Structure 1
Amino acid sequence: MTVLGAVFRPQNPPERLRAVAMAAEAAGLEQLWLWEDCFLESGIASAAAALAWTERLGVGIGLLPVPLRNVALTAMEAATLYRLFPDRVQLGVGHGVQDWMGQVGARVESPVTLLGEYLDALRALLAGERVTTSGRYVQLDEVALDWPPLVPPRIYAGARGPRSIRLCGAHADGTLLDSITDADGVRAAQALIEQGRAAAGRTDAHVIVASLLAVTGPDAAARLAAERTPQHAPGAGVAGDAHAVAAAVRALAEAGAATVIVQPTADEPDPEGFVRFVAEEVRPLV
């Protein structure tokens, strides 16, 4: 069965998160995903709070921009969350928006190279290995976590371009596709992921998480049109009632997404109501 979640967008003030997380838990939503967009909210801090306020809700972080974070620090923070909240954390990393990375002096010449090195080191550290590596960007000398997760977690990577998506197949355990992608884009991504996996000799499971921009209510069509950009694929996003949103979720799932995360617009006036809508009205139709 398709895993269904929703996004708490960081355009909402951080103090709004508790009410949304508790509404998601009460409604039975499977996952609540958080973003670490510059310069809005911390993914790790927000996730820790949402996990502490709830008991069953899965919390995803998508994405941590790797140029901002030393891989050992990310491994320490992630391992702490995995130990405190077993089976409830989903972690995604990405090479970040390059303009933002430039603003903070963290832009690198080859973001794809950095992401590949970072994923290999992060997965090894979280698997409890002692890691020594001297890559172009990632250097570690006999680094090991004292408190690694009890079970090596699935690490996701986010990507848009073909080269980055192939890298996800080779170096990550799952791929996060953002809301510019439609069902055809999921199918194309799956093919690229398999190319990467084959080149790396990967035979383990790989999970695709797709985001769906969804708008409901009397002005849904206009709000969706205002949110869309030229980068959105023709079939990306949906405006309508629960049946329309559920049909769009099913299309992404049939294309290969194991998890679909329903994303509101940045101007969503009722984020608590949105997560209840996804859990109580869309979920039964998927």
Structure 2
Amino acid sequence: MTVLGAVFLPQLPPERLRAVATAADAAGLQELWLWEDCFEQGALAGAAAALAWTERLHVGIGVMPAPLRNTALLAMELATLHRMFPGRVHAGVGHGVQEWMGQVGARVGSPLTLLREHVQALRALLRGEEVSTDGRYVRLDRVKLAWPPQAPVAVHAAGQGPRTLRLCGEVADGTVLVADLGPADVARSRALVEEGRAAAGTGAPHRVTAYLLAATGPGAEERLAASRRDWGIDPASGAGVAGDAHAVADAVARWAAAGADAVVLQPTADEPDPEGFVRFAAEEVRPLLG
């Protein structure tokens, strides 16, 4: 069965997270995802709180900007979460929005090189290895975690362009796709990820997580149209869905058929009931999925 999740948008105040997370947990939602958009909310703090407030809910971070995160420090943070909440954490890194990276003095000359170095070193540290590397951006001298995760964990990477998607397939355990994709775009993205996996000669499982912009309830069509305009999404792309549980479940099935192993519903920024949205995903949409 396709994994189904939902996003807690960072446009909501951080103090709203507890109510949304506990509603998701009580309803049986599989995953709640957080974003680390500049300059809104820190995803690690939010993830730790959401995990502590809940019992079963898996929490994803999709994604943290690699230029903002020292690799060793991020490994320490993620290892801590994985040890405290084993099996319930999904974390990813990406290039970051280049304009934002420039605002904080973290923009790099080669985002692809940084992502490669960062993911490779991060995965090795989380495996409990001692890492020494002298890369263009990531430099570590005999770094080894005292408390690595007790079981293997996955590191996801985010991508959109062809070179980044191939890199995700080559060096990461999973790929997170952006929300402005329709089913055909998801299929093309999955194919590029598979090209990277083939180049690396890896047969290990590789999860593709795709966001799906979704609106339900009164005014759903209008809210979806407004969100498409805000995101610059061409309606002809097929990105996004508006309607009842059956309409949303049908869209999730199309995304899954296109190559998404997990589909994360993204409410519109003006969703009037975030708690109700996660309950809708868990209680009405998920039972309709095969």
Q: Is TM (by shorter chain) over 0.5?
A: yes
Indicate the residue corresponding to 2:288 in structure 1: 285
Query: Does the aligned pair in 1 maintain the 2:233–2:239 contact within 8 Å?
Result: no
CA deviation profile, 1:240-285 (whole Å, cap 9, x unmatched): 1111100000001111111100010111121000000101111111
CA deviation profile, 1:52-87 (whole Å, cap 9, x unmatched): 000110000110101001000100000000000000
- The 5 A counterparts of 1:63-78 are 63-78=63-78
Q: Distance in 1 between matches of 2:227 and 2:114?
A: 31
Query: Secondary structure, in 3 states, of the residue corresponding to 1:266?
Result: coil
Query: Secondary structure, in 3 states, of the residue corresponding to 2:169?
Result: helix
Match 2:272 to one of 250, 269, 273: 269
Query: Secondary structure, in 3 states, of the residue corresponding to 1:157?
Result: strand
- The 5 A counterparts of 1:124-273 are 124-228=124-228, 229-231=231-233, 234-273=237-276
Partner AA of 1:123 in structure 2 = R
Q: Please report how far the alpha carbon of residue 217 of structure 1 lies from its aligned counterpart in structure 2 after TM superposition.
A: 1.6
Query: Secondary structure, in 3 states, of the residue corresponding to 1:93?
Result: strand
Q: Distance in 2 between matches of 1:181 and 1:73?
A: 32
Q: Distance in 1 between matches of 2:162 and 2:181?
A: 13
Q: Distance in 2 between matches of 1:42 and 1:100?
A: 14
Q: Please report how far the alpha carbon of residue 188 of structure 1 lies from its aligned counterpart in structure 2 after TM superposition.
A: 0.7
CA deviation profile, 1:216-253 (whole Å, cap 9, x unmatched): 12211111111113345711100111111000000011
Bigger drift between 197-206 and 15-24 goes to 197-206
Structure 2: 5+ residue runs without aligned partners? none
CA deviation profile, 1:20-50 (whole Å, cap 9, x unmatched): 0000001000000011100000100000000
Q: Distance in 1 between matches of 2:233 and 2:79?
A: 35
Q: Distance in 2 between matches of 1:66 and 1:212?
A: 24
Indicate the residue corresponding to 1:24 in structure 2: 24
Indicate the residue corresponding to 1:114 in structure 2: 114
Q: Distance in 1 between matches of 2:271 and 2:111?
A: 32
Q: Percent identity?
A: 66
Q: Distance in 2 between matches of 1:53 and 1:247?
A: 32
Q: Please report how far the alpha carbon of residue 197 of structure 1 lies from its aligned counterpart in structure 2 after TM superposition.
A: 1.0
Structure 1: 5+ residue runs without aligned partners? none
Q: Distance in 2 between matches of 1:128 and 1:231?
A: 42
Q: Please report how far the alpha carbon of residue 178 of structure 1 lies from its aligned counterpart in structure 2 after TM superposition.
A: 1.4
CA deviation profile, 1:166-204 (whole Å, cap 9, x unmatched): 000001000001111111111111111111111112111
Query: Secondary structure, in 3 states, of the residue corresponding to 1:48?
Result: helix
CA deviation profile, 1:90-109 (whole Å, cap 9, x unmatched): 00110100000000000001
